[in-house]
Structure 1
């Protein structure tokens, strides 16, 4: 059973990679860079090429950041796989790690293939736009939040 569960964590990551890459391919074929389409009063689809990290951090760094972010993604992948193997019996923890793994690999594929990450989800209010992001970014963020939640749950459980 543990072996099947372990592969389900990697299977979840693969599904996320597929959803991420499919959504980016759709946007790339239906939008020009910078093109924006209104979906709701607070949400647009837009094609953005992000050479930086989350929220375009280091996007204007001159090119060295591509190699840096590729290295970070590869190291993170190795650490996450090691953690999943080590904590197979902890489903919440492994679920969160699987989300992060799928997101990290989805964005890594973009960096290796294109030299940038395709972002397209644009939320806004009162003229203020949250930086565009994608399915991979969403998976990483949700996974990180679940890790925090799991950590807090463990902390309160150990005090009882």
Structure 2
């Protein structure tokens, strides 16, 4: 993974967002907000995003790094949802699939956000025996939220299998 300071930049962006939400926002706070959002993405992120969006696998590494880092700031959830959607349309290496397995399991273990549905759809593509077994293990987890999210992801994977093999 790159040395980009994902969490620090996300924190700066969120602080700038909170500051700009003062009433009325001062022009310098708006400028700070836009600069912080821009800085929350590493150089070249937009180009890699556009490549992946257009089916070019050269955007995969940056997308996976972003999903692994899981930065949390204004509109990052929409970016994650899109990246998960775009990743379904490119060929992934075995190493990339293993990295995405970890991303998917982390999301199951940590939270249900608006992009979770896109992660479930990505799980259909990443549906390795390792991922499926790890999700099944979570069905007996003490945490009801883990069980529920694992169930949803397994259901998404199973729905894909049913549609492929009627």
TM range (shorter): under 0.3
Structure (1/2) with the larger helix percentage:
2
TM-score under structure 2 length normalisation: 0.23
TM-score under structure 1 length normalisation: 0.24
Structure (1/2) with the larger strand percentage:
1
Work out which structure has the larger RCO, using CA pairs closer than 8 Å and 6 or more positions apart in sequence: 1
